[in-house]
Amino acid sequence: MIQNVTLKGVEFELRELTAADRNTVLAFAAALPAHDLLFLRRDITQTKVVEAWIAATEAGAFTTLLAEHEGAVVGCIALYTDPLSWSPHVGELRVLVADEVRKHGLGRWLVEQGFRIALDKGLSKLTAQMTIDQKAAITVFEELGFRGEALLKDQVRDADGKMHDLVVLACDVANASARIEAYGIGESA
C-alpha cells in the first residue's frame, strides 16, 4: 500500500514499515528532539528497540506506516492492538513528525489514517498518550475527537532522571470517524 498526499505544497508518500527500514527509522528517531520521544513506551533511538518494533509489526501487533519526503522518513504512525487481551476492541495510536516538516498538516493527516486502520480492524476505541506539555499533539488529537481520560503522574523518567506526567486521551472510533467524514477535520465535539 502506497499513498501520496500534498500538504501545503509539500509531497509526502505513505507506506508500510518493512524489515529494510531499520536504519532509516533509526536516523529519523535520532534527529527528533529527545523530549518528543518520551510518550513512547520504549526508546526508539536504540537499534534493539527498532528491531523489536519491526518484528512486532511483522507479527501483526502493530500496524506501522511511514511518511517519506524525498526518500527520507519524516513521520510515522503506529497502531498497537492486542487481540488476546481483555481490550481487543482498543487500539493505541502513536504519531511522530520530524521537526522540519511540522505544521504542514502531516500529523493530523497521519492520525486520520490511524482512524481508517482502526475502522478496518473493527476497533471501537482509540487511545493516545503524551507528556502534558505536548501542546501540538494534544491539539491534533482533540481536534479529531479525542478527550482526556487519565493523568499518570511521574509516569516517565527521562535520560536526566527527571519525571514527567503523561496524559491519556481516548475517543470513540465510530463517532469520530463519522464526524470527520461528514465535516472534515477540525470539528470538535
Ligand X SMILES: CC(C)(COP(=O)(O)OP(=O)(O)OC[C@H]1O[C@@H](n2cnc3c(N)ncnc32)[C@H](O)[C@@H]1OP(=O)(O)O)[C@@H](O)C(=O)NCCC(=O)NCCS
Is the Cβ–Cβ distance between 170 and 127 less than 8 Å? yes
Give contact residues for ligand X (rule: CB under 6 A). Answer: 36, 39, 93-97, 102-108, 128, 130, 134-137, 139-140
Strand partners, 26: none
Nearest CB to ligand X, comparing residues 54 and 138 = 138
Distance between first and last Cα of the chain: 32
Instruction: Report in angstroms how near the CB of residue 14 gets to ligand X at its nearest.
Output: 13
Nearest CB to ligand X, comparing residues 19 and 30 = 30
- Report in angstroms the alpha-carbon separations of 112 from 55, 93, 119, 130, 178: 25, 11, 11, 18, 12
Q: What is the dihedral of CA 6, 189, 149, 168, to 10 degrees?
A: 10
Nearest CB to ligand X, comparing residues 104 and 179 = 104
Instruction: Report in angstroms how near the CB of residue 98 gets to ligand X at its nearest.
Output: 8
Instruction: Report in angstroms how near the CB of residue 178 gets to ligand X at its nearest.
Output: 21
Instruction: Report in angstroms how near the CB of residue 161 gets to ligand X at its nearest.
Output: 21
Report the residue number whose CB is nearest to ligand X. Answer: 107
Nearest CB to ligand X, comparing residues 54 and 106 = 106
